Structure 1
Amino acid sequence: MKNKLLFRKMIENRGRIFLLILTLCFSIISGQSGPDFTIIADKAIQKLYQNPDDCISYTQGLLVSDQDVEDRIVLQNIISQAFAMKGDYMQSVNSFSQKENPDQNQDISYFMRVFEDYNLADQYQNLGLYNQSKQIITHLLSDQTLLKSNDPKLRITTAKLYQLQALNLGISRDYSNALENLNKSDQYIDNDNEENKIIKTENKIFRSSYLMKQNKLEEYKKIIENVISELEKQKNQPFLLSLAYENLSRFYFLQQDYKTSVQKLELGLSLIQDLPFNNIKIKIYESLSRTYFALHDDIKYHQYNKYYNDLRSKTDSSTKEGIRYIVKLVETNQNKTLEFEKQNYLKSFWTSTFIFSVIVIGLLIYFLVIKNKNKDLKKQFDFFERQNSQQKQMVHPITDLAKSTETERNSNKISKEKEEEILQKLEEFEQSDRYLNKNMSLSMLSAQMEVNTKYLSEVINNNKEKNFNGYINKLRINHIVQLLKTDPTFLNYKVSYLAEYSGFSSHSAFTTVFKSVTGISPNAYIQEISKSKVS
């Protein structure tokens, strides 16, 4: 009996060991999933803020082994963000576009649909298409299902949506609403993983910046110094710490403490000097050139000004390519959607036609067999033939609609409502400082406003009494004139720097336009302002 019990226990133990081995093998074969994927994706996010190149290599390695469609979309987005932080916006859009077969989108989860829309809004924001980004985010944040969800993945995505909207509002100088969106973003950060910590820190930096622009300097300084203190203790966040130092340098610049401003900028630059964070390097180079100019250090001014111009030209070129690429990408996706809907319509149409034909034939047989009245049969046959003809004509409204749309598109007359809409968008544009962008063109502005280039040109010509170039140049001159009146620092700058700051391609072009707008040369104007300040 004892031998039998012992033998049975051995069999049971072997069975348990066998099941354990099977479970382990299944886990290995299945690859990373569930919480494990969350952990490795969080590690990729951490690398994103430490070194974009390392992040790309690490994440591409994960893509090779992970076959889950939704996991791959998340990883592809991280790679796209890494290229954006490098200032390579063309490659960022390219990585964003490398998704799985669109046909599989029918089966993706609610989270993934929200996540993909957030990614598109993020791409638009990176490329300076702020209105398009705002529209997507506004639509997403109107969904109560998203706002009330307790799913950690949806909550962190909601936090990022509010943060992105705050950045869009900050661009248009709506600082109160920007701060409100940052507060809402914080409400959705409730985990202790790296991504949540990073977003929380970014929100503090952005919040301090908007407080400074509202002249709430005590609140600003308390927040930014606290952020810097926390980041210095971590010693593994070069991007965030560099961003915080660049932010603090602006405070000292406004206080005209240029030496301390330079010190903070040089400290921030030293953290990322050998790292490919080109987007923040551009900010630091520009700030250093401006601050050294205020210190009358021409050598350092020209040095950093050259660094800024070279890197800015490179990223501007990438931005233009990125805009062209994403516009083409969105158009292609829309065409695919229309084609899919057309196929569904045709399929539905032919199914309805088949069913209708069967009914017609059945009714014909019924009248032939039961009634056997040729006269009535002919009447019924004519009736159903007319019905069939009407069904076949259902396809024509689509063609007619397309022709109507094409006719409207080709119409040279712009409606009053459309004109008012464009004027409203121009007013918002004038409240921002986007016209200072050297690359601002009619096509770029029309893309940002999502209006027809021809309509935009017509509205500017009719309502601003200038062509596009004259309109932009007048905005730039008015902006620099206001700065010369209100900020004494600008009175010390050379005309060449003022020209560059206000978006002109050359000193001579700036001088010519300045005189045409004000009736006086820049140098003479500066002298007049300086005299009035003294008196």
Structure 2
Amino acid sequence: MRQKSIQILFIVFCSIFIHGQSGPDFSILLDKAFQKLYQDPDDCISYSQSLLISDQNIEHKIILQNIISQAYAMKGDYVQSVNVSTQKEVYEEKDKLSYFMQVFGDYDLADQYQNLDLFDQSQRIISDLLASKKLLTSNDPKLKITVAELYQLQALNFGINRNYALALENLEKSNRYIDNHNEENRIIGTENKIFQTTYLLRQNKPEEARKLIEGVISDLEKKNDQPFLSALAYEASSRYYFLKEDYNKAVEILEKGLSKIEKLPYNYLKVKIYESLSKNYFALHNDEKYYDYNKLYAELKAKLDSNNKEGIRYIIKLVETNQNKNLEFQKQNEQRKFWTLASIFLLIIMLLIIYFLVETRRKKDLKKQFDFFKKQKNRAQLISSISNEGVIQTEKSTESNKISKEKEFEILQKLNEWEKSGLYLNKNMSLSSLSAQMEINTKYLSEVINNSKGKNFNGYINELRINHIAHLLKTDSTYLNYKVSYLAEFSGFSSHSAFTTVFKSVTGMSPNAYIQEISKNKAS
């Protein structure tokens, strides 16, 4: 997750230029809050809240609210981040905020959207802001840094869409608007280099990436006062060694990065490190470490995903409470009337659709990715051939009516949560073990699976595994470098042949053919 160090710098300038008599004192306090943001978000929140209580200046209050909001985002607490961000509306007085503060408000909203994975909404705001000649040509230091952060955020959006060339181009544009005369600029530049490392690796330029990230790590270690940036840099560095199949070195670097933030609540960054550690330990065939870190990853990821969905609900509330305001500042004079009640209503509807369908559409996305394989759809389903329970039942159990609707709903809810956990990748998972975990009668569980999923337990779990690994191959190019035997073991299959048979029955093609097709599409 990208962290917005930008806010603090241009706010410091704002406080100095707008409130000359009190600016210097406030800027010193604000700089301390900024330092704490990258050292310990909880300490930053406590410190900033104490300043918020004693400061009666409206713009100062908005500034402090944004620091607190960003600290919550760095913790992965998107609900509180959005909630705090909406509270600043209490202090705003219409037509009294400067041009800079209006731009800052729109940038803040774009960043909130990106934190919540609403990338289209984020990109629309950024594009409108960067279309402003007034903003791009301004010599105001605080506006120049705003532009630097907008280009950085746009680069991250391009990276999400796998357009790494444009992502690197936007990071270069961001660098043109920063200098090395203060802490805020230094951190933006450091973040840009870390992101550049990731995109260079994606472009298959490992040595260029290695040289860049080693320089970043060396500089950070000399200062030793930014644990968040250090951990982020180590995680990026580990990717180089993973691609070189030096998994021991990758683990060493990741463990060092984790030690920097292990006792700090940078939860989103911890999720990334847990995931990377589990991948490397899997490649090293260290089952104990793999399962330990994979469990930490799954538990924390589930917590963050839940908070993300709740954050979307809060961002909708933000839109509702600002219907008559220019939330997404576009060309201060030309487009102010464009945002009518109808456009905001449509935006709310779109966000509501995303909120309610994101989970239900997740499993359908894989099928949509395979639409171009229509000729493969008529291949016979072979799941039953490797099932230990025999052929899939074609008739419902005559005793199905004995399960109450309430009990069936309860079982389906538990199955849904279990599917999200990824525990079906455990090769020892069986109907009896799942029944024990869920504290459900084996017969009831088997009957619900047969009736609701249209297949027996083995067919059900095997299809979950194949959908999972096929999705990873599609979305994470590092998996394309694994041998099929590794993919089989990672997916929980007992043998290479069983994995190949089921993979072909679900997707209509062999694992090797699928990997070749994905690689060809990425190359084009």
Query: Does the CA-based 8 Å contact 1:32-1:66 persist in structure 2?
Result: no
Query: Does the CA-based 8 Å contact 1:134-1:168 persist in structure 2?
Result: yes
- 1:286: how far off? 0.4
For 1:89, the equivalent position in structure 2 comes to 78
Matches of 2:239 and 2:141, distance apart in 1: 36
- 1:133: how far off? 0.6
1:480 pairs with one of 473, 476, 483: 473
Correspondence 1:24-423 to 2 at 5 A: 33-101=22-90, 104-190=93-179, 192-334=181-323
For 2:486, the equivalent position in structure 1 comes to 492
SS at match of 2:285: coil
SS at match of 1:270: helix
Matched, 1:517 2:479: no
Q: TM-score, normalised by structure 2?
A: 0.64
Matches of 1:43 and 1:511, distance apart in 2: 60
Query: Does the CA-based 8 Å contact 1:294-1:489 persist in structure 2?
Result: no
Query: Does the CA-based 8 Å contact 1:31-1:66 persist in structure 2?
Result: no
**AA at the equivalent of 2:482:** P
Correspondence 1:8-27 to 2 at 5 A: none
Query: Does the CA-based 8 Å contact 2:61-2:91 persist in structure 1?
Result: no
- 1:116: how far off? 0.6
Q: For the structure 1 residues 67 and 31, does the alpha-carbon distance in structure 2 shift closer, same or farther, using more than 3 Å as the test?
A: farther
Query: Does the CA-based 8 Å contact 2:469-2:491 persist in structure 1?
Result: no
- 1:100: how far off? 3.6
- Per-residue CA deviation, residues 296-324 of structure 1 (Å, 9 max, x unaligned), is 10000000011001111111110010011
Matched, 1:443 2:369: no
Query: Does the CA-based 8 Å contact 1:129-1:447 persist in structure 2?
Result: no
Matches of 1:444 and 1:223, distance apart in 2: 37
How many equivalent residue pairs? 381
Q: For the structure 1 residues 105 and 309, does the alpha-carbon distance in structure 2 shift closer, same or farther, using more than 3 Å as the test?
A: same
- 1:175: how far off? 1.1
Query: Does the CA-based 8 Å contact 1:249-1:261 persist in structure 2?
Result: yes
Query: Does the CA-based 8 Å contact 2:472-2:479 persist in structure 1?
Result: no
Q: For the structure 1 residues 194 and 32, does the alpha-carbon distance in structure 2 shift closer, same or farther, using more than 3 Å as the test?
A: farther
Matches of 2:100 and 2:242, distance apart in 1: 44
Matches of 1:335 and 1:281, distance apart in 2: 39
- 1:485: how far off? 9.0
Q: For the structure 1 residues 149 and 134, does the alpha-carbon distance in structure 2 shift closer, same or farther, using more than 3 Å as the test?
A: same
**AA at the equivalent of 1:273:** E
Matches of 1:314 and 1:70, distance apart in 2: 34
For 2:406, the equivalent position in structure 1 comes to none
**AA at the equivalent of 1:515:** S
Q: For the structure 1 residues 333 and 481, does the alpha-carbon distance in structure 2 shift closer, same or farther, using more than 3 Å as the test?
A: closer
Query: Does the CA-based 8 Å contact 2:473-2:480 persist in structure 1?
Result: no
Query: Does the CA-based 8 Å contact 1:166-1:181 persist in structure 2?
Result: yes
Matches of 2:297 and 2:472, distance apart in 1: 22
Matches of 2:361 and 2:139, distance apart in 1: 37
Query: Does the CA-based 8 Å contact 1:49-1:237 persist in structure 2?
Result: yes
- Per-residue CA deviation, residues 407-440 of structure 1 (Å, 9 max, x unaligned), is xxx9xxxxxxxxxxx9xxxxxxxxxxxxxxxxx9
**AA at the equivalent of 1:480:** L
**AA at the equivalent of 1:293:** F
Give unpaired runs (5+ residues) of structure 2.
1-18, 328-340, 378-452, 454-462, 516-524
SS at match of 1:219: helix
Matches of 2:479 and 2:56, distance apart in 1: 61
Q: For the structure 1 residues 510 and 314, does the alpha-carbon distance in structure 2 shift closer, same or farther, using more than 3 Å as the test?
A: farther
Q: For the structure 1 residues 138 and 446, does the alpha-carbon distance in structure 2 shift closer, same or farther, using more than 3 Å as the test?
A: farther
SS at match of 2:94: helix
Matches of 1:323 and 1:117, distance apart in 2: 17
- Per-residue CA deviation, residues 324-379 of structure 1 (Å, 9 max, x unaligned), is 110232133126779xxxxxxxxxxxxxxxxxxxxxxxxxxxxxxxxxxxxxxxxx
For 1:533, the equivalent position in structure 2 comes to none
Q: For the structure 1 residues 328 and 498, does the alpha-carbon distance in structure 2 shift closer, same or farther, using more than 3 Å as the test?
A: farther
Q: For the structure 1 residues 197 and 524, does the alpha-carbon distance in structure 2 shift closer, same or farther, using more than 3 Å as the test?
A: closer
- 1:272: how far off? 0.7
Query: Does the CA-based 8 Å contact 2:243-2:478 persist in structure 1?
Result: no
Q: For the structure 1 residues 262 and 463, does the alpha-carbon distance in structure 2 shift closer, same or farther, using more than 3 Å as the test?
A: closer
- 1:519: how far off? 5.8
- 1:463: how far off? 11
- 1:36: how far off? 2.9
Q: For the structure 1 residues 477 and 40, does the alpha-carbon distance in structure 2 shift closer, same or farther, using more than 3 Å as the test?
A: same
Matches of 2:302 and 2:315, distance apart in 1: 20
Matches of 2:215 and 2:24, distance apart in 1: 32
Query: Does the CA-based 8 Å contact 1:43-1:194 persist in structure 2?
Result: no
Q: For the structure 1 residues 225 and 498, does the alpha-carbon distance in structure 2 shift closer, same or farther, using more than 3 Å as the test?
A: farther
- 1:194: how far off? 1.8
Q: For the structure 1 residues 191 and 227, does the alpha-carbon distance in structure 2 shift closer, same or farther, using more than 3 Å as the test?
A: closer
Query: Does the CA-based 8 Å contact 2:503-2:509 persist in structure 1?
Result: no
State percent identity of aligned pairs: 56
Matches of 2:157 and 2:490, distance apart in 1: 30
SS at match of 2:88: coil
131-140 or 483-492, which moves further after superposition?
Answer: 483-492
Matches of 1:509 and 1:41, distance apart in 2: 57
- 1:163: how far off? 0.8
- 1:523: how far off? 12
SS at match of 1:104: coil
- 1:215: how far off? 1.3
SS at match of 1:118: helix
Matches of 2:23 and 2:297, distance apart in 1: 44
- 1:518: how far off? 2.2
Query: Does the CA-based 8 Å contact 2:484-2:512 persist in structure 1?
Result: no
Q: For the structure 1 residues 336 and 199, does the alpha-carbon distance in structure 2 shift closer, same or farther, using more than 3 Å as the test?
A: closer
Which has the larger Rg? 1
The structure with the greater share of residues assigned to helix is 1
205-214 or 35-44, which moves further after superposition?
Answer: 35-44
**AA at the equivalent of 2:317:** K
**AA at the equivalent of 1:477:** A
Matches of 2:360 and 2:78, distance apart in 1: 20
